[in-house]
Amino acid sequence: MNNQLNKFVQVRGEDFTVGGEKIVFRGFGLGSWMNLEHFMIGLPGTDTMIKKAFEEVYGKERSEKFFDRFLMEFVDEGDFAFLKQIGVNHLRLPFNYKYFIDDQNPGVYKEEGFKYLDHIVSLCEKYEIYAILDLHSVPGGQNPDWHCDTYSGLPLFWEYGALRDTVIGLWGHIANYYKDQPWIGAYDIVNEPSMVTNAEVFNKFYRKVIAEIRKYDEHHIIFIEGNAFTTDFTMIDPIDDPQVAYEFHFYPFVADPAVLTPEMDRTRRREIFAEAFGELVAIRDKYKRPVWCGELGLVFEKEEIDFQMTIIEDMLDLCEQHDVSWALWTYKDAATMGIVYPREETPWRQLTDAIKQVWNQHKEQEKGEALVDYMAETYFKPISAEERYPLQFRMRTIMQVICVEQNLKPFLQQRSWEEMYELPASFHWDQCEHWSELADVVRKYTKA
């Protein structure tokens, strides 16, 4: 075990180290894999809604067979050879709690989650790329948005101690399983908490989950994420566990969409980015621990790719200048944010490009906001932006139910089971292409 310990990533002061040598994480999140995200995978609905639609159209057994194939074939050796070639040293692996917990029987753990994680972790070990386990969806939802598989548009995880206790137990189970695996770089406890209103609840959850992990596993790093989709750390108390580090996400264009326009002067954009990044990286001084930018990225467009690479460079330059580890979001999807994506002629793209004619995430968001305004102005008085913001998430969960019925199931019903079962093969490395422009940018920083 002592020799193995030299391979574990560890916290030393404000750095990550392996065998006493400093390491800077440079890599990707894997993508819409063990937690489906509608706009990335090209299918309307949340993870659970999408799978339920497949089950209703093709039956339970066939649906399970389809997603088993999707999960096992999403990436292969060709992907890892490419990752190694561009100098990537870690992958963030997002997963949904439902692969481990049956909501009707939460005390008994399912083992299928380890099947899928092990599949990727074994490839990570073979290619010497660290895997960071990212719990992307928890019972009740840790934020109000689709990417935590919420039905309600409310972050109910923070309202019920019983839900949090379920996740605390799950992390102990996972830590016990992986405690001796040095190619697991860290445990990322919960992705992008948001709308947390009770600091005591927030801190108690982190303290309890760390204590549960440490019953089994003293060695792995544990990442703490902040509030407001991990951009606000004002509620988070310092934790004295020696292997705790902190993670923020960097999407500065959410607050200022104008930075994504070519009309904005690049110097001005860099100033806006630098100010936003400076506020986030300040948590390193607050906690005296290393920090990781666990997500940053863009939706890529062929016509704008050269310009968009300047935006990626401006974001990565800040990470490098501030000596901050980073993971681009994302590695692979259905031609949205991924560096790798199925070719246009593949069956998956044929399906999702057809769905795009009637549905996309941006329309969904705009309609959700418009419906909140319509409701308020028709039946009540106009409402403030502060009131409108949380309500549009709740409105969108209603819309997602309709979109699955009207914009997903009809497309599934048009395709035979035999036709559908071949779709996951679209993600094989030899069926994909990649943004060579982004590969060149990544190599610039990894020195590959």
Question: What local confidence, expressed as pLDDT, does residue 283 receive?
Answer: 97
Question: What local confidence, expressed as pLDDT, does residue 6 receive?
Answer: 81
State the pTM of this model.
0.96
Give, rounded to a whole angstrom, the gap between the first and last alpha carbons of the chain.
31
- Which ranges constitute the DSSP H helices of 59-153? 60-73, 77-85, 112-127
- Residue 124 — pLDDT band, cuts 50, 70, 90? very high
Does the pLDDT of residue 369 top 90, yes or no?
Answer: no
pLDDT digits (tens, 9 = 90+) for 134-176: 999 999 999 999 999 998 999 999 999 999 999 999 999 999 9
CA–chain centroid gap for 276, Å, is: 21
pLDDT digits (tens, 9 = 90+) for 312-334: 999 999 999 999 999 999 999 99
Question: What local confidence, expressed as pLDDT, does residue 382 receive?
Answer: 86
Residue with token string 């016509």: 303
pLDDT digits (tens, 9 = 90+) for 92-120: 999 999 999 999 998 899 999 999 999 99
Does the pLDDT of residue 218 top 70, yes or no?
Answer: yes
**3 state SS of 154:** coil
Average pLDDT for 228-249 = 97
Question: What local confidence, expressed as pLDDT, does residue 74 receive?
Answer: 98
Average pLDDT for 60-71 = 98
Question: What local confidence, expressed as pLDDT, does residue 368 receive?
Answer: 85
Range in 20-24, 200-204, 315-319, 376-380 with the lowest mean pLDDT: 376-380
Average pLDDT for 39-63 = 97
pLDDT digits (tens, 9 = 90+) for 74-85: 999 999 999 999
Q: What percent of the chain has pLDDT over 70?
A: 99
Tokens of 248: 């923020």
Average pLDDT for 368-385 = 89
Contacts with 347 (C-beta within 8 Å, 6 or more apart), sequence order: 419, 422, 423, 425, 426
Contacts with 179 (C-beta within 8 Å, 6 or more apart), sequence order: 216, 217, 219, 220
Question: What local confidence, expressed as pLDDT, does residue 191 receive?
Answer: 98
pLDDT digits (tens, 9 = 90+) for 332-358: 999 999 999 999 999 999 999 999 999
Question: What local confidence, expressed as pLDDT, does residue 3 receive?
Answer: 63
Tokens of 121: 């972790």
Do the bridges between strand 9-12 and strand 221-225 make them parallel or antiparallel, or are there none, so unpaired?
unpaired
Question: What local confidence, expressed as pLDDT, does residue 2 receive?
Answer: 54
Does the pLDDT of residue 1 top 70, yes or no?
Answer: no
Query: Which domains are present in the chain?
Result: 2-440 (3.20.20.80)
Number of other residues whose CB lies within 10 A of the CB of residue 69 = 16
Average pLDDT over the chain reads 96
Q: Is the dihedral of CA 373, 379, 382, 388 positive or negative?
A: negative
Closest C-alpha to 252, from 233, 274, 226, 235: 274
Instruction: Give 110 or 365, the one with higher predicted confidence.
Output: 110
